[in-house]
Amino acid sequence: MEAELVTLTIDDIKVKAKKGIKVLDAALGAGIYIPHLCYLPEAEVPLASCRLCYVEIEGRGMVTACTELVAEGIVVHTHNPRIDRLRHTTMRLILANHPIDCSSCPRNRDCELQRIAAYLHIKLGNPSGSPSLKGDLGGFREMPLRDLPIDDSHSLFIYDPNKCVLCGKCVMICNERMGVGVLNFIFRGYNTRVGTFREIPWGEAGCISCGACVAACPVGALVPKNIKVLSFTTSPGCYDAPLHHHIHSPGDR
């Protein structure tokens, strides 16, 4: 039996979607991009931590698309000045303590932050002085960049907490999907990072090396060690397979 379908309108386009899925899922499925960093379709309770996927639904107001269920006849707008302003603010806060040295980052050109920045017409490169950032959103306090220790103890990947946007995908995957639970958020506020029990190096903390966290990381915080010779795929929906399914040496293709 086929799942019940509902019809909704996203940016004047009629979209059919399965009942019970989220608005973000429906939009992405219809080829309408909504910026998002933390979305995991499998998560029963959405993380909703990145606050980038704001949309406006008529009658419901400004909502995060990853938490709203589709319903018959709802009208969704993914673009208007109010939404853009909110997203700009959110993005500015995320970038506030993110080191913008993209050219030396292994995830350069394959980074969700870069993609979203481009979508929002935010220029990266000079986070504090960028006119596009300061223009309409001045007044934010300067944030010092984090200076947390990089964990390269694992044989396959490196965790750089200074680049982490704390979306929580890796934590969710490690705990819910894999049932391993090596990872969790530790400490609080500006000091929050993803870590292990008593900050044991990841390589020794009981990690099963499934690589699911690395594949899910939207930025350059969790990267395979041999990324220079391997290409790396994180297109939506295909990050379920273990790490070796995602990285192919150039000869494979």
Closer CB to other proteins, residue 121 or residue 198?
A: 198
Q: What letter does residue 64 receive in the DSSP assignment?
A: E
Cβ distance to other proteins smaller for residue 3 or 45 = 45
Rounded to the nearest whole angstrom, what is the least distance from the CB of residue 189 to other proteins in the complex?
A: 9
Least distance to other proteins, CB of residue 181, Å: 3
Q: Give burial (CB, 10 Å; 0-12/13-18/19+) of 29.
A: middle
For residues 199 to 238, the per-residue mask of contacts with other proteins, x marking binding by CB under 8 A and - elsewhere, is: ------x---------------------------------
Question: For residues 147 and 142, what is the distance between their CA atoms, to the nearest angstrom?
Answer: 15
Distance in angstroms (rounded) separating the CA atoms of residues 213 and 194: 11
Distance from C-alpha of 17 to C-alpha of 6, rounded to nearest angstrom: 5
Give alpha helix (H) positions in the chain: 23-29, 81-95, 112-119, 131-137, 169-172, 212-216, 243-246
Interface pattern 149-188 for other proteins (x via CB under 8 A): --------------------------x----xxxxxxxxx
Q: In this complex, which beta carbon is closest to other proteins, that of residue 84 or of residue 176?
A: 176
**193-205 exposure pattern, b = at least 16 Cβ within 10 A, e = fewer:** bbbbeeeeebbeb
Q: Give me the least distance between CB of 205 and other proteins, in Å please.
A: 8
Q: Kindly identify the residues of this chain, within the stretch 16-35, that bind other proteins according to CB under 8 A.
A: none
Q: Which is nearer to other proteins, 57 or 205 (CB)?
A: 205
Residue 190 contacts other proteins per CB under 8 A: no
The residue type at 57: I
Under rule CB under 8 A, residue 196 binds other proteins = yes
Which residues of the shown chain bind other proteins in the complex (CB under 8 A)?
Answer: 175, 180-188, 195-198, 205
